[in-house]
Amino acid sequence: MKRPDLARQLVDVGRAFYSRGWVMGTSGNFSAVLSTRPLRLLITPSAAHKGRLAARDFLQIDADGRVLGRSRGRPSAETRLHLEIVNSRGAGCVLHTHSVWSTILSERHRDRGGLTIQGLEMLKGLDGVTTHDHEEWVPILANDQDMTRLSSRLRDTLAEHRTAHAILLSGHGLYTWGRTIADAERQIEILEFLFEVIGTRER
């Protein structure tokens, strides 16, 4: 798929997530792979409102997070996290949201290092899961403003939990990914639904 198509799709993702309250303020960031050799990533600029993105707002970066071409914006501060996920999982799209439930659950379960979701039909929406009788471990990383340190811990976590479909940052939000933008968007919907079920049930 070409850059304009990917950008348009991410604009729509932003609008949909904003209407559900998952990217309030300037929170959240999205990326999609333009090419793999060399790696070129389309990514949301820092401090943009995700519900009102325009296709021209997106930046193109390389494997080191450097912006290519002329551009006014800076890439999202969390660019390195996107690159780690693309490298570790071979993802074509990485989506990051900040919802009320992912914030609450990521704090509540932080000391256990993650949370388990099991026995729910909705799990079948995760890539490769074929039964509700599945145990999904969502690792939770402590939040950190030092992106070098955080991306290194993320790399280790992704390597340790090869089957995880998502990562939570404590008090911060959710990262998930997919082969395509539609796949990653579906996983955000699935996980946010599951977090709401678990959060409401636990109270």
- Binding positions for a second copy, rule: CB under 8 A: 20-21, 24-27, 49, 98, 100, 103-104, 107, 119-122, 125, 130-133, 143, 145, 169, 171-173, 182, 186-187, 189-190, 192-193, 196-197, 199-201, 203
Specify whether the CB–CB gap between 28 and 10 falls below 8 A: no
- Toward a second copy, which CB reaches closer, 137 or 193? 193
**35 vs 116, which CB is nearer to a second copy?**
116
What CA–CA distance (Å, rounded) separates 103 from 151? 19
Give the separation between CA 54 and CA 67, rounded to whole angstroms. Answer: 18
Residue closer to a second copy by CB (options 40, 46) is: 46
Q: Which is nearer to a second copy, 27 or 88 (CB)?
A: 27
Closest contact distance (angstroms) between CB of 189 and a second copy is 4
Residues whose CB is less than 8 angstroms from the CB of residue 13 and which lie 6 or more positions away in sequence, other chains included: 30, 95, 181, 185
Shortest distance, CB of residue 173 to a second copy, whole angstroms?
A: 7
For residue 131, the minimal CB distance to a second copy (Å) is 5
Nearer to a second copy, 88 or 143 (CB): 143
Least distance to a second copy, CB of residue 179, Å: 14
The answer to whether the beta carbons of residues 40 and 34 sit under 8 Å apart is: yes
The nearest distance, CB 145 to a second copy, in angstroms, is 5
Q: Residue 108 contacts by C-beta under 8 Å, 6 or more apart in sequence?
A: 202
Alpha-carbon distances of 1 from 24, 33, 42, 70, 181, rounded to whole Å: 29, 9, 12, 22, 11
